[in-house]
Amino acid sequence: MKFVISLLAAFILIVTGVAALKVNAQPNITNSPGSYAFGTLDASSSYQTGLDYFTVNNTSGYDVRITIRGTDMTGGSVNWTLSDDASQDTDIYGLKAGLASGSYSVTVNKTDTILIGNLTDNNTQQWGLELLAPTSFSDNVEKSGNITLTATQL
């Protein structure tokens, strides 16, 4: 039997403090657009935003490193667990990210993983997500989750 589910992924940004040796500097990044609706999903399928869907902009006054992490999907009676290695199973989904002109090569999990090693000041980088849907769903309810981008000064 084929299961489908509606999914909305919301995105938030976190800007972290700087290293102790830097003076009065705070990273300043923006990401747009701020969300992506993957729509109705089929079990065991993958869905991509396109590698140029999102754009992160660094206006910090210095170069930054951008890390990415995700959360479990919530909604309905059963949450979806974000897998550590982008594998799929019942109510377990995977996420990958990638940069424009590249591939979805960054596995997104619940810990910070480097997405952009060096985003120079007053520069932008396009990026995208790939969602790997669970192999089966315990409920057919809309789910939502968060992706966090964190900037740290280099």
Q: Where are the domains of the chain?
A: 4-153
Residue 10 has pLDDT above 90, yes or no: no
- pLDDT of amino acid 26: 83
The CATH number given to 4-153 is 2.60.40
Looking up tokens 């992706």 gives: 147
pTM above 0.95, yes or no: no
Looking up tokens 């869907």 gives: 53
| Mean pLDDT confidence for 52-60 | 97
CA distances from 133 to 40, 79, 106 (A): 10, 13, 17
Residue 48 has pLDDT above 70, yes or no: yes
